[in-house]
Amino acid sequence: MRVANFNGGPGALPREVLEEAARDLLDWNGTGMSVMENSHRGPEVQAMAAEAEADFRALLGLNGDWAVIFCQGGASLQFAMIPLNFAGPGGRCDYINTGLWSTKAFKEARICGANPRLAASSEDDDFTHIPEVFDFDPEAKYVYITSNNTVRGTQWSRFPHNAPGPLVADMSSELLSRPLDLRPFGLIYGGAQKNIGPAGLTVVAIRRELADKARLDVPSMLSYPVYIKNQSMYNTPPVWSLYVSGLTFKWLLNTVGGLNNMAALNQAKSDLLYQAIDDSQGYYRGTARPGSRSVMNVTYRLPGEELEKKFKKESQAAGLVGLGGHRSVGGLRASLYNAVTLDDVRRLVDFMAEFQRVNG
């Protein structure tokens, strides 16, 4: 029996996607071999990549003003690609720090020689909320945010619309979990291993007018214009990750019915779990402020670390896996990515109630 997978990443994949990938493993698309064995220069893989891009565009409503590229290096490589392409040595750029990943991105911009500054930060409040007041540099080339924070369980519900430059967003843990108003954004990206597919692929959507401003003295594999010009095929892409991601795009379009439906389901899942936390009379304690709570990553604590260890051990035995918090903060975390079902969350809520009854 498959477990309920609450891992923070790699996260759960839709069962239908896994079944289709398994059927195709030895003979994909009538080629007599796996998609992993097909040449990325061949017409079959080229068509697969084009279809995946078209479906991704359809999900987010991206028109021709946007380029879509598939990168390697995980989301973390984007920490360097962004300042290298759009800031350069001494280039001014703003960052809003809401946790571990935006902290890392800020540090990487410095390593790349840019001149980043903090327009806002919630670090002094232990990253329990999303800032609402910003001190923007009017000369900033871009403003960088992490839209959903897997470690601290916070998420942007409203994005800044008064930034001096285009918003650039790491959306790794929420991309394709809800519709997006992309008007303030110049670039969004996400590692595949949360809501999209296997690790190894990063999907980037970038406005062409922003890509046209990219610096040209960057290594080819770090250059957005190179990816765009070569349709993400400058070198061999992570074909398997791209293939499975394409299946997930189809699942979102055809089975789920689009991002509005996906968002409603995700909201129902998170509402159920947060209600269980709030109704526990303090036995379970959410770590994010209510107004900044993430729909994707629900972080919470028990009255003591020994109880948390017991909870993780017994929940795993009950087929509820991946409920430990990030190693940097501890505690508990349930990641409710798209492929996590409402029944999975019901199982978790029932387990939590019984655990409290026995151990409270």
Catalytic entry in 170, 251, 269, 312 = 170
Catalytic residue, chosen from 101, 141, 251, 312, is 101
Give the Cα separation of 169 and 185 in Å (integer).
Answer: 8
Residues 6+ apart with CB under 8 A from 225: 211, 212, 214, 216
3-state SS string for 96-155: EECCHHHHHHHHHHHHCCCEEEEEEECHHHCCCCCCCCCCCCCCCCCEEEECEECCCCEE
Paired tokens of 150? 């897997």
Our CA dihedral for 203, 163, 128, 192, rounded to 10 degrees, sits at 0
Which sign, positive or negative, has the C-alpha torsion 29, 34, 39, 45?
positive
| Catalytic site includes residue 156 | no
State yes or no: is 104 an active-site residue: no
Catalytic residue chosen out of the listed positions 141, 194, 269, 312 = 194
Strand partners, 146: 170
**Is 170 known to be catalytic?**
yes
Catalytic positions, written as ranges: 101, 170, 194
